[in-house]
Amino acid sequence: MKDLYGDVAVTRLDGHVVQCEIKRPPNNFFDHQLIKDLADCFEDIDTQNDIRAIVLCSEGKHFCAGANFGSSARAAELEQRTENDRNPLYDEAVRLFRCKKPVIAAVQGAAVGGGFGLALMADFRVVCPATRMTANFVKLGFTPGFGLTHTLERIVGAQRANLMFLTGRRINGETAQEWGLGDIYTDADNVRSAAIELAQEIAENAPLALLSLREQMRPNIAEAVNDVTTIESREQKWLQQTSDHKEGIKAVAEKRAGNFTNS
């Protein structure tokens, strides 16, 4: 296992725990390369028998503020895909879901869109008053990705998942805790330390039993995410070619409601 996977820094901690820190501050925008690096890192961790739990965290103000819609790399990726192409980023996301070790996410600041999906990949999330979670895809003129159409409902139920999806509303850390999206609620300064403490509490237990139980509690989750991301990719692809998507990106950047034209 390496100490650095692209923009992901790896630190071994006490108590059979490893910290994986995304280092793209302050917003920690994700792209295909970042998720691939995380997946490579998690796969290597799975080969380390002395590691029993993972803390996923980020440097800077936000956990992951989603995709950078203004980046030229993202535009190039979209142009290279045909309507029925599967988004290769989601292949890397499925690899993350195949990770065998428990993952605790320290979610400070924003977890937006695909960044929200990344947070929900984890088994547990530590949140704080500054935490903001949103699946704001409809405000951007397209639909959810990163397996959120499977994972969000699994955690909060169909009604609350639909409420978040169809309104694009943002919820704070207190609401996240109330709905079960957060498992520990603490102040902003202690988000990471609380995540480490939970990871160490898990990791003091019998490692083979942990692996077995996690598989039982998340049966076939990678396969389910693989299936839904095939649909998510298809729907996102054609919607991202619409005028409403272009208007949605502009509207969100300008912090206003979109003037959508059904085109």
Q: What is the pLDDT of residue 121?
A: 98
Instruction: Judge whether residue 143 has pLDDT over 60.
Output: yes
Percent of the chain whose predicted confidence (pLDDT) is above 70? 94
Measured distance CA(174)–CA(76) in Å, rounded: 38
Supply 149's token pair: 């159409």
Supply 200's token pair: 């160490």
Q: What is the mean pLDDT of the chain?
A: 94
> What is the total count of domains within the chain?
1
The domain of 10 spans 4-188+203-209
Residue 63 lies in a domain: yes
Please count the other Cβ atoms lying within 10 Å of the Cβ belonging to residue 78.
Answer: 14
Q: What is the pLDDT of residue 108?
A: 96
Can you tell me the mean pLDDT for 163-182? Answer: 98
Q: What is the pLDDT of residue 157?
A: 98
Q: What is the pLDDT of residue 72?
A: 52
Q: What CATH number is attached to the domain comprising 17?
A: 3.90.226.10
Residue 134 lies in a domain: yes
Q: What is the pLDDT of residue 63?
A: 98
Residue-wise pLDDT for 104-120, tens only, equals 999 999 999 999 999 99
Instruction: Judge whether residue 80 has pLDDT over 70.
Output: no
Can you tell me the mean pLDDT for 134-155? Answer: 97
Q: What is the pLDDT of residue 85?
A: 81
What is the C-alpha R_g of the chain?
A: 18
Phi/psi of residue 251, nearest 5 degrees: -65, -45
Residue-wise pLDDT for 29-79, tens only, equals 999 999 999 999 999 999 999 999 999 999 999 999 999 876 555 555 554
Percent of the chain whose predicted confidence (pLDDT) is above 90? 93
Sequence-distant (6+) residues with CB within 8 A of 142 are 235, 236, 239, 240, 242, 245, 248
Residue-wise pLDDT for 200-251, tens only, equals 999 999 999 999 999 999 999 999 999 999 999 999 999 999 999 999 999 9
**What is the pairing mode between strands 132-134 and 53-58?**
unpaired
Q: Report the candidate in 27, 201, 6 with the shortest Cα–Cα distance to residue 108.
A: 27
Residue 162 lies in a domain: yes
Q: List Cα–Cα distances, 89 to 108, 145, 175, 179, in angstroms.
A: 24, 10, 29, 28
Instruction: Judge whether residue 82 has pLDDT over 60.
Output: no
Residue 229 lies in a domain: no
Least confident of 16-25, 80-89, 200-209: 80-89
Q: What is the pLDDT of residue 71?
A: 59
Q: What is the pLDDT of residue 17?
A: 98
CA angle 106, 184, 19 (to 5 degrees): 30
